[in-house]
Amino acid sequence: MLERIIDVPKGIDALKAHGEVTRTDYETVIEPIVDEARREGHRIRMLCEFGPEFRSFTPGAAWEDFKVGMGAMRLFEGCAVVTDTGWIRESTRLGAFLVPCPVRLFDVGDRDEALRWLASLPEGPGVSHRMDTESRVLVVELEGPLRAQDFDALAQTADSWIASHGELAGLVVHSRDFPGWENVSGLLHHARFVRDHHKRIRRVALAADSRLADLMPRLADHFVEAELRHFDHDDLTGAVAWASGRSPAGD
């Protein structure tokens, strides 16, 4: 079953799993949280705790989890998974790159720290991203001033994929206008992300209006071991195909 945890800061939804989690648990506990977020126009910060008394998900619960995730993925602002159970921790690490929000693991004894992390997340990301698993390309959408938290989430997605698959085929940056950085911390985290990942990405594409083409030399300075190419903003499909290595560099 799924139990709502009540003693949490405002704006956080917290659940604890006991025994066997069923499809009914999803329908009666999680779907109302998602429906309320849609109705009221707010984003979800979720804490999920799996203690030693948790055993498994039923097949119906697994299907419901997939349906809820596909339909509500972009409603989530952050997710903290609290558990000491090895297989849940490993599944969370492997799956974190599939979701557009930051996901962090915490030990059961660190639930308060998990709540503080969720409460500290600012609203409205400057960067959203998705991992295109078929093409092995990380697609980054620039939507507002870039924040430190955005690059932490981006790094977590990239690192989870690289740990499982060895490397990223490519990175696509998609934006009409470059929004700049929220503050110095955002700029520093941007630099750290590039420093830690520039040797493990083969192709970098910028899908943006021509007035942003002057960003290409700056990207080239950072991703010195990657091929780079500029695409029109509306040619995101072409940019992803090229970054995946399916299209020749000269196409």
Domain extent, residue 206, equals 127-243
Same domain? For 112 and 212 the reply is no
pLDDT at residue 154 in the model: 75
Answer with the one of 70, 89, 120 that is the final residue of a domain: 120
pLDDT at residue 96 in the model: 74
Write the pLDDT tens digit of every residue in 89-120: 988 887 776 676 778 899 999 999 999 999 88
Who contacts 21 (Cβ-Cβ below 8 Å, separation ≥6)?
1, 2, 54, 56, 57, 58, 61
250 falls within a domain:
no
pTM above 0.75, yes or no: no
Total domains present in the chain: 2
154 falls within a domain:
yes
10 Å CB burial of residue 204 (0-12, 13-18, 19+) is: buried
Answer with the one of 59, 93, 120 that is the final residue of a domain: 120
Same domain? For 181 and 92 the reply is no
Answer with the one of 120, 139, 171 that is the final residue of a domain: 120
Report d(CA 209, CA 250) in Å as an integer. Answer: 20
Report d(CA 31, CA 12) in Å as an integer. Answer: 15
pLDDT at residue 74 in the model: 67
The H or E element that residue 94 is part of is helix 86-95
Consecutive 10-residue averages of pLDDT for the chain (251 residues): 90 92 89 82 86 86 66 78 92 75 89 92 68 86 74 74 80 80 65 70 80 56 69 92 75 55
